[in-house]
Amino acid sequence: MKITSIKSHVLRYELDSELGYSQQYYKHRTAHLVEVQTDEGITGWGECFGPGNIALANKYIVEKVIQPLVVGEDPLNKEYIWHKVYNLLRDSGQKGMPIQALSGIDIALWDILGKKTKTPLYQLVGGKCNDQIPVYGYGMMLQKKSVDELVELFKEEAKQIKSKNFKAMKMKIGLGPKEDLKLVQAVREVIGKDFKLMVDANHAYNVNDALYVGRGLDELDIFWFEEPVAPENYDGYKELKQKINTNIAGGEAEFTKYGWNELIKNKCIDIAQPEVCGLGGITEYLKVSAIAQANFIPVINHVWGSAVSIAVNLHLLTAQPDMPGGLFPSKSMLEFDTTEKNIFITDLPQEDFSILDQVKQNNGFASITDNPGIGITPNENFIKEFEVYE
């Protein structure tokens, strides 16, 4: 079997209302799908992390930089292909967009292997360790409103997320230390003290401000404080980890086994959040997960994107062993977007693939199917409707 072509599809549509996080507000939702075709008629699908115009840049890397390096290769030689591309790009792309682009291609190669062998992805990466995965909802995005207005919006959204049977929820912060603690306290009060709550700063703070916020989060029994400082600031992560009790989570902006080795070696995080669509794909994710396990760090995947990303992560979590093991282990969770309806999740797959329905019906849990590969196939008519060619 040979790779004959690689197509890149950037999808975009306008949101009803503007949403944001600590770095920017946005009015459009994007997704970047990768389609790898073979001479046997088997097509694999993957996804690249990266919103907005980043997706357009990654599209160029996929089609104009990486595709010429791998057309004609056997798609089952995933390890060889990964290192061939990385070695030829490493002088210019050890992190960032080249690795995001490679991630989508690598995921598609695993999808091809699953379809070729008629095997679901979770079996290919180790087999079933979990019959079902707890799901947490993330929402409560920032908006261009006053703190008091956001307090009321966040309280209402938190109630809605809890009512849908999610096992936990995550909110955005990044307005400023005092304003953020006001938001978190309001959400904590409305959902109760026993419901698991996480906060995501998207690296908004310097160390001193992060310490101030972190100590406040300690008082509110927050499960994790995500990306408190810039991802390059290993010393800052380490200091926060030493000085506050709330779990420090991070890693969505870390790349490859090399970057993750440094993050973990420097004792930066309590919870690892690898982004499989960004760090180098499934081939590299498995190595990152092994490094985390060897250092007894729980892995709770970062998930952003379309139904393709969600399906891939559900497979990976299904195959993930408990860390640590025991009769009553703390299970990893699937991250799920609960903001304004995301049609790249609900309407993209040809198959029936509703995480929301599963969460509601199964008291907060979701399960993967035994369909081969990643288990879903994007609808080509849907892709044509929302694809952009800028």
Two structure tokens written together for 145: 């409103």
Report CA 64 to chain centroid distance, whole Å: 26
Alpha helix positions (H), the chain = 52-60, 67-70, 78-89, 97-117, 121-124, 147-163, 177-191, 207-219, 234-243, 256-265, 276-279, 282-294, 307-318, 343-346, 355-361, 380-386
Pairing of strands 168-172, 196-200: parallel
Q: Residue 29 carries which DSSP code?
A: E
User: DSSP string spanning 141-195?
Assistant: -B-SS-HHHHHHHHHHHHHHHHHTT-SEEEEE--S-HHHHHHHHHHHHHHH-TTS
Pairing of strands 133-138, 365-366: antiparallel
**How many angstroms separate the CA atoms of 281 and 256, rounded?**
9
In sequence order, the 6+-apart residues with CB closer than 8 A to the CB of 90 are: none
Two structure tokens written together for 289: 């997960």
Report CA 370 to chain centroid distance, whole Å: 22
Report CA 387 to chain centroid distance, whole Å: 22
Catalytic, 302? Answer: yes
Q: Which of 9, 203, 302, 315 is catalytic?
A: 302
| Catalytic positions | 302
